[in-house]
Amino acid sequence: MTALSEPEAPVEPPQQTSLSTRAARNLASTTKSAPQMQEITSRWLLRTLPWVETKGGTYRVNRRLSYTVGDGTIEFVQDGADVRVVPRELGELALLRDFDDVEVLNALAGRCVQRDFAAGEVLVERGTPAGAIHLIAHGRIKQTTAGKYGDEAAVAVLADGGHFGEQALLDPDARWDSTATAETAGTLLTLSRADFDAVLASAAPLRAHVEQFRTLPHQRQNRHGEAEIKMSAGHNGEPELPGAFVDYELRPREYELSIAQTVLKVHTRVADLYNGPMDQTEEQLRLTIEALRERQEYELVNNREFGLLHNADFKQRIQSHSGLPTPDDLDELLCRRRGTKFLFAHPKAIAAIGREFNARGLYPDHVDLGGQQVPAWRGVPILPCGKIPVTADNTSSIIAMRTGEENQGVIGLRQTGLPDEYEPGLSVRFMGISEQAIISYLVTTYYSAAVLVPDALGVLENVQIAHRRG
C-alpha cells in the first residue's frame, strides 16, 4: 500500500509593499485636455471679412441710378416629363422686367413649347435667322463664335435657368451671333416671335410696356448700366460745357442685421462642485460660442436674404467650360472684377482645383495670410469654406470677392457695445436660476453681409468635384 502524500502547503502571495496603481488612480488627477469639438473649422470667411459697425441694426447701400434690366435665372415646374415655366419668372427677362399683368404672363408661358435635346446637338447655328427665345430648364449649353483666325472661340456656357435669343422677340431681322451646342442632354422651352406677337397684339398693357422698353434711355448709360455723367474732353477754345449731376437710386437696398442665439443651461451642482481644475461654465460657454460662430458663417454663405451665394449678381455667375475647375475658369472668374481679394471653395473643390492644376503641370502659388501659408492663384488666396454646399451630383461653387468699404466690396455687418457683451457683436446674458436649480444664459450674436456694388462678388457655379474618368 502506497502511503498518502502530504498535501502541499498553500503558496502565500507576495506581500504588497506599496500602493497599487489601481488604487492610486482613484486619488490622482489625470492630465486632461479641455473639451474638444469636431465641428470647429478654420472659419476663414469670418476672419477675412471686414466688419462694419451697424448702428440702428440696418445698413443702407446707396448706389448710382442704374437702368440695368432683369437678366436673372428663370425657374420652372416639372410634372413628370412635362416642364412649364413659372409665369412670373418671365419677369426675369430684360424685356418683361417689372411687367406684372398675370393674365398676359400666363398667356406667354402657355405658348412656350418644350424641346428635349441630346448631348452634342446643335441647337442654333451662327448667322441663321433668330426667331425665338430659348429658356433652359435643364442642361448645359456652350455658345461659340468664329475667332479672329477662323477657329471656334467659346463665348459662354449656359445652364439651368439661363436663356438666349431675347433680341429675336423684337427684331424681325435678328440673326444668331453664336452657335449653341448642347454639352449634356436637357430640356428647352421655346417662345417664338410669332407667338409673342400674337399675345402682343391682343394685350394692350404688354404693348405699352414694350414701347416703354424701346424708349429706355440706353444712350445715357455707361457699360455698367449706370446713368451716364455727361462731360466734355479734348476740346479747344470756349465751348459750352454740358451740365451734369450724379443721379442715385431712389429705393436703395437695406440690409437688416440677422440673429443667431441659443440658451445655455448649466446645473448649479456642476457649477459649484465640479469647477476645478477647469471652469465648467466657461468651457460650456466656449463650445456654445464656437457652434454659434459656425452657424453664423453658414448663414453668411447660404441665407436666402443676405447669403453670398444668393446675392451674387446674375451677370457675375459663370459656368465652368468643362465642368471641372480649370485654371481657365478661375481666370475668367478673376477677370470679372478688379482687385479680387479672396477665393472661397469647399475643401473638396480645392482638391479638384489641385488635380486640374497637376494635370496641366501647374502648381498653385502660396501666399502668407496672417502668418499662415495658403494656396493661391494669380496671387489670390484660395481659402477653404466647408459651408459652401456640395450637391448630390458632386457639384459645388467657388466664390470670388473683393472686400472692404473703401474698395466698394463685400463687407460684414455687426453691432458692438451690446449689453453684457462677451465678444465683439456677441452677448451672454444671465437669465436666472429655475426651480430645478438650472442656470440659464442667453447667448446672442447679430450679423449680416452687404455687397456694395455687383461686381464685388462672383460665383463659379456647378463645378464638378469628382475625379476625372479614366
Q: Any bridge partners for residue 188, and if so which?
A: 115, 136
At 279 the pLDDT is 82
3-state secondary structure of 143: strand
Q: Vertex 452, ends 350 and 244: CA angle to 5°?
A: 140
Chain position carrying cell 429658356 = 135
- What string of pLDDT tens digits covers the 470 residues of the chain? 455 556 666 667 666 644 455 665 565 566 778 888 888 899 999 999 999 999 989 999 887 765 544 446 788 886 667 888 988 888 888 888 888 888 999 999 999 999 999 888 999 999 999 999 999 988 889 999 987 777 788 888 888 888 999 888 988 899 999 999 998 888 899 999 999 999 999 999 999 998 888 776 544 555 555 566 666 676 676 676 665 556 666 778 899 999 999 999 988 888 888 777 788 888 889 999 999 999 999 999 999 889 999 888 877 888 888 889 999 999 999 999 999 999 999 999 999 999 999 999 998 889 999 889 999 999 999 999 999 999 888 999 999 999 999 999 999 999 999 999 999 999 999 999 999 899 999 999 999 999 999 899 999 988 999 887 65
d(CA 240, CA 237) in angstroms, rounded, equals: 10
At 275 the pLDDT is 76
44: number of Cβ within 10 Å: 19
Its pTM stands at 0.71
Nearest to 166 by CA among 311, 69, 65: 69
Give me the helices (H) in 151-203, please: 193-202
